[in-house]
Amino acid sequence: MNGLNPMSGITKKVNLSRVVERINNFLSPNSSRNECVPFYVDYNQVGIVTPGVALLLQGHPEIFTVSSTSIHLNNKFGSCEERTEIIRVFLEGMKNSGQLNKALKGWRNETYNIRHSMSEPVLFRMERSAAGPFGVITYGCHINGYTYKNGEMMMWVAKRSPTKQTYPNLLDQFVAGGLSSGLGFRECAEKECQEEASVPEKHLKNLKSTGTVSYVHEDERGVHPEVEFIFDLKLPEDFEPINADGEVQEFKLYPVSQLPELIVQDSFKPNSAAIVLDFLIRHNIIIPDNEPSYCYLVEMLHFPVQSLFNKLPTEA
């Protein structure tokens, strides 16, 4: 049976392929992929830009050099700080004029480090809400909070606040957050656990790093090549999460047997649904013997986003 573990108590067939195809819709034939152009900084590709955004950038030749095949940040901005400042001024101008509004209406006053790859130096820092229009790789931390009741594995699921800048009112991971400039991965995970669910410090020793989930998503804001660093957090049976930062409406505890049916619904935030799927695979709830699409699911949960990015030879 599709998506079913005979030992898990799951009794309903679900199309789990929908979960990975939602987050990787940029790879589909109907996406803008073939029309997008690469964005380079110091000969390193750092982004993927849609035609509409490219046209807007073309109107600012003092900052960007735009052609039909590429976009380059002007090389006169030679340091991380210079690039960060010119991009900040440009984006604040866009926000104030109402341009790029689908993305910048979610302005966070929070920056991401932008680079060609995680192992390379930071080229500049950018306001988080602008990541989509420029198609830069972003990184985040997602935490699966789980426990056991009467011997049954259960997972905490959050419902996002109606005032969240993105995906309001949708079901979500127990805890998650973007990796802001200056934060380490575990530091980010612990911070989000405390702010979003009031997890006591004594429980944070149970945080276990379990790998990544990566994908390329496209929506009205732009292109989103994303890498999420995943943590599992086993919690005591009597723990009750309490939101402390206003970003969560409520938490609900679900048996893992109900999660496959839940994560295929439109009411679940797409990337968080994929990370729950990754949890179910790693914990042997979904296994090759009960899921015909097992290999496809695993591959699509780990799309190599870096494969979309390249480097150019520098000028002699």
Mean pLDDT computed over 186-211? 96
Q: Tell me the C-alpha distance between 142 and 269, whole Å.
A: 12
Rounded mean pLDDT, 304-316: 85
Q: How far apart are CA 276 and CA 24, in angstroms?
A: 16
What pLDDT does 1 receive?
A: 33
Q: What domains sit in the chain, N to C, each tagged with a CATH number? A: 33-136 (3.30.750.160), 138-305 (3.90.79.10)
This prediction's pTM: 0.92
Tens of pLDDT, residue by residue over 203-249, are 999 999 999 999 999 999 999 999 999 999 999 999 999 998 888 99
Residue-wise pLDDT tens digits, 137-184 = 999 999 999 999 999 999 999 999 999 888 999 999 999 999 999 999
Q: Which of 310, 281, 284, 306 is nearest to 20 (CA)?
A: 281
CA distances from 267 to 22, 216, 289 (A): 13, 20, 28
The answer for residues whose C-beta is within 8 angstroms of residue 72's C-beta and 6 or more apart is 39, 40, 41, 64, 65
Mean pLDDT, residues 98-105: 93
Instruction: Choose among 130, 119, 149, 95: nearest CA to 257.
Output: 149
b/e map 83-101, b = 16+ CB within 10 Å: bbebbbebbeebbeeebbe
CA distance 153 to 282: 13
26-56 pLDDT, tens per residue? Answer: 999 999 999 999 999 999 999 999 999 999 9
Predicted confidence at residue 315, as pLDDT, reads 59
Which amino acid does the sequence have at 184?
Answer: G
Q: What is the pLDDT of residues 63-97, one digit of tens each?
A: 999 999 999 999 999 999 999 999 999 999 999 99
The answer to whether residue 268 scores a pLDDT higher than 50 is yes
- What pLDDT score does 13 carry? 80
DSSP code of residue 265: S
Q: Residue 28: exposed, middle, or buried by beta-carbon count in 10 A (0-12, 13-18, 19+)?
A: exposed
Average pLDDT, the chain: 93
CA angle, residues 299, 112, 176, in degrees to nearest 5: 55
Q: Cα 68 vs. chain centroid, distance in angstroms?
A: 29
